[in-house]
Chains A and B, each alone.
Chain A
Amino acid sequence: MDDTLIAECRQMLALIQMPEAKLLRLPESWERYRRAGLGREGLNRRATFPAESASLTHMPSGNPALSLDDIFISPRALTPPPTRRARFLSSFFPWRRQSHLATLNWGDLYNETDGQYAGAAREMLESGQWLTPTNDGIPRLQKPLLLYWAIAISLKTFGLTTAAARLPIGLAIVASVALTFLIGDRLGGPWRGFLAGLIHLCSCGTFLLGRIVMPEPVFSALIAGAIYCAIRGYERRRGRRGWFFGFWICAALACMTKSLLGLVYPAALLGLLSCFYREARCVSGGAAQLGRYPDFPPHRRALANLAGAATSRISLLTSRSGSGLIHLAGQTDASHSYDNVSRHVFLGAAPRLVVSVDDCNSSRRLARLATRSAPTRNRDSRMPFRFAGSRSCSSRSSSSGNDRITTR
């Protein structure tokens, strides 16, 4: 480190064309600098100033200048005109309308899953029992309630039709395509976002699985929403609390659609991010704030409607994983006959069995245990996890924060 150094600075610049503020590519003539080794890594990696061995890549905070933040979610050089995003989004609409919304009433509900969800929603509507979905009067507790509610509301609004049963799924596909675009737009610009949305929209799985009444399309839309909110929260300090709040809302709704997977997927993604990102690692304890996460009272109340905790555990066990084990043992009943499916397909049931036994209680216990070691660092620059616990930690957190997550 040079003791005489007074200040060191690094500035990012972009080339624009005025007055429309159009972002330009750098001149072709600059290619020679790139060829000379001046690529994305920067010269600082091997700076050769004689008396200045301290490279700018290592700022006093210890963060590398070329952080994941720089290459992954660095801010836009210039914010594109607001109409551009609207144009891209609206360009999806005719395709989505034709491929998903206009075809909602094509064909009857045709498979087991369709009937189970739509039938349970219909019974929910008829019985007025909004907390315990039933099929032929038998409680159906494999999945949380959000999808049943959505289908039931749709059935109530538009009548008992197949299109009404599929409408929440169609809307979820529309939302997930839009969110895919927005995520891509944030990470790589509008054209990449457009291509990402287009690929998602045109993929075979989106079309086929998006026509089955099941929670996955809604779940994926909510996970996409959570990711989008997390990215927006990362990008700017302004409105960060709101975006992180949105992250949790989406994760909560995803949990109400497909149980704790709504937390597992965002946590896995952000955990992956923390592998590369120092600040994220510093707040790994923040994940423990899951223990303070609202635990979906309606769903739990529905479970409590059964006769006692033991019954609910047995129900979870049999409905989630037991069916797979029963198939594995070759003891399926007539209504669940999969004779033409190889038994090894159901081998995945064994680990699920372990996970599903009393999953709610054990996960909360673990989360509370981990909460004890939650860090008390700068709150604003935290992972979305942090936001969930910010209320509890506010008394011991400082309110200062960087505009970006990176500490330099």
Chain B
Amino acid sequence: MNSESPSVDVEVQVMFFDTDCGGVVHNIAYLRFIETARTLLAEQLGMKLVEMAETRQYPVVVRTEIDYRRAAKLGDCLRIRGWLDRLDRARFWCALRDSPHLG
């Protein structure tokens, strides 16, 4: 990532409703974290939620690739870092990483 590319950092705390009966964050919950970060990233790119609703121009997800490396647990504080990864004429890619918030 270079300095001019838009990026976003979001902190999320794992709540009860994010976990499953195994006590770890359910795999779908990560996508919700990611969506939060992606939405904020879209704001940086000039696509604010309200403006999107007015113009009726929406970014839609057409593909998701995700690798789960470690399990997050209840109460963990996560940092989701997202950035604009690649641009085509009509498509763009966002890359996002979940990692523990160590700060």
Q: Closest residue to B94 on the A side, CB-wise?
A: A11
- A43, B94: Cβ atoms closer than 8 Å: no
Which residues in window 61-95 of A have CB below 8 A to B?
65-66, 75, 77-78
A32 CA to B2 CA in the complex, in Å?
Answer: 12
A18, B59: Cα distance in complex, Å: 10
A60-B100 contact given A10-B85, A14-B62, A42-B85, CB 8 Å threshold? no
Report B-chain residues with C-beta under 8 Å of the C-beta of A75: 62-63
The answer for the CA separation of A29 and B6 in the assembled complex, in Å, is 13
Q: What is the chain B residue whose CB lies nearest that of A408? A: B65
Distance A242 CA – B68 CA, assembled complex (angstroms): 33
Nearest CB of B to A32, in Å: 7
A13 (CB) vs chain B CBs: closest residue: B59
Of all chain B residues, which has the CB nearest A55? B95
- CB pair A9–B96 under 8 Å, yes or no, is yes
Name the residue on A nearest B31 (C-beta).
Answer: A9
In the bound complex, CA of A32 to CA of B92 (Å): 14
Residues of chain A at interface, number, CB under 8 A: 50
Task: Report which of A9, A18, A40, A59 forms a contact with B88, defined as CB distance below 8 A.
Answer: A40
Contact check, B99 vs A11: say whether CB atoms are below 8 A apart: no
A106 on interface, CB distance cutoff 8 Å: no
Determine whether B72 belongs to the interface, using a CB cutoff of 8 Å to chain A: yes
List the A side residues contacting B38 at CB < 8 Å. Answer: 11
Residues of A within 8 A of B89 (CB): 25-26
State whether A8 touches B70 (Cβ < 8 A): no
- Interface: A48 (CB within 8 A): yes
Q: Which residues of B contact A395 (CB under 8 A)?
A: none
Complex contact B4–A36 (CB within 8 A): yes
Does the CB pair A13–B61 fall under 8 Å?
yes
Does residue A369 face the partner (Cβ distance < 8 Å to B)?
no
Interchain CB contact under 8 A, B61 and A32 = no
A39 at the interface (CB under 8 A from B): yes
Question: Are B97 and A7 in touch, CB under 8 angstroms?
Answer: yes
Q: Is B71 engaged at the interface, CB distance under 8 Å to the other chain?
A: yes
| A16-B58 CB under 8 A given contacts A7-B69, A7-B98 | yes
Cα of A24 to Cα of B89 in the assembled complex, Å: 9
- Contact present for B91 and A43 (CB under 8 Å): no
Do residues A7 and B60 form an inter-chain contact, with CB atoms below 8 A? Answer: no
Known A-B contacts A24-B90, A30-B45, A40-B87; A11 and B5 likewise in contact (beta carbons under 8 Å):
no
Do residues A41 and B30 form an inter-chain contact, with CB atoms below 8 A? no
Chain A residues near B1 (CB-CB < 8 A) = 43, 47-49
In the complex, whether A310 has a CB less than 8 A from a CB of chain B is no
Residues in chain B near residue A136, CB distance under 8 A: none
A109 within 8 A of B: no
Cβ-neighbour of B70 out of A5, A43, A60 (below 8 A) = A5
| A4-B99, A8-B97, A33-B5 known; A18-B87 Cβ under 8 A | no
Q: Is B74 an interface residue (CB 8 A)?
A: no
Interface readout for B71-90 with A: 1 if CB under 8 Å, 0 if not?
A: 11000001001011111111
- Pair B100/A11 contact, Cβ less than 8 Å: no
Among residues of A, the one whose C-beta sits closest to the C-beta of B83 is A43
Chain A residues in 8 Å Cβ range of B94: 10-11, 13
| A137 → B minimal CB distance (Å) | 62
B5 touches A38 (CB 8 A): yes
- What's the Cα separation between A23 and B90 when bound, in Å? 7
A15 beta carbon closer than 8 Å to chain B: yes
Contact B99 A6 (CB under 8 A): yes
- A59 CA to B90 CA in the complex, in Å? 25
| B62 touching A77, Cβ below 8 Å | yes
Residue of A9, A27, A38, A75 ringed by the most chain B CB atoms within 10 A:
A9
Q: A32-B4, A48-B2 are in contact. Are A24 and B70 (CB under 8 A)?
A: no
Judge whether A17 is part of the interface by a CB distance below 8 angstroms: yes
A2 contacts partner chain B, Cβ-Cβ < 8 Å:
yes
Besides A30-B87, A77-B60, 19 new A-B residue pairs in contact (Cβ under 8 A), listed by A number: A2-B99, A6-B69, A7-B67, A8-B95, A9-B64, A9-B98, A11-B96, A12-B61, A12-B92, A13-B62, A18-B56, A30-B92, A33-B4, A40-B87, A42-B93, A43-B1, A44-B95, A48-B1, A65-B65
> Which A residues form the contact surface with B (CB < 8 A)?
2, 4-19, 23-27, 29-30, 32-34, 36-44, 46-49, 52, 56, 59-60, 65-66, 75, 77-78, 408
26 contacts between A and B (CB under 8 A): A4-B100, A6-B30, A9-B34, A9-B64, A10-B64, A10-B95, A11-B61, A12-B64, A13-B94, A15-B57, A15-B59, A16-B60, A18-B58, A24-B90, A26-B88, A30-B87, A33-B4, A33-B5, A38-B2, A38-B86, A42-B93, A43-B1, A44-B85, A49-B1, A59-B67, A77-B90
Could you list which residues of chain B lie within 8 angstroms of chain A, going by C-beta atoms? 1-2, 4-6, 30-31, 34, 38, 45-46, 56-72, 78, 81, 83-100, 102
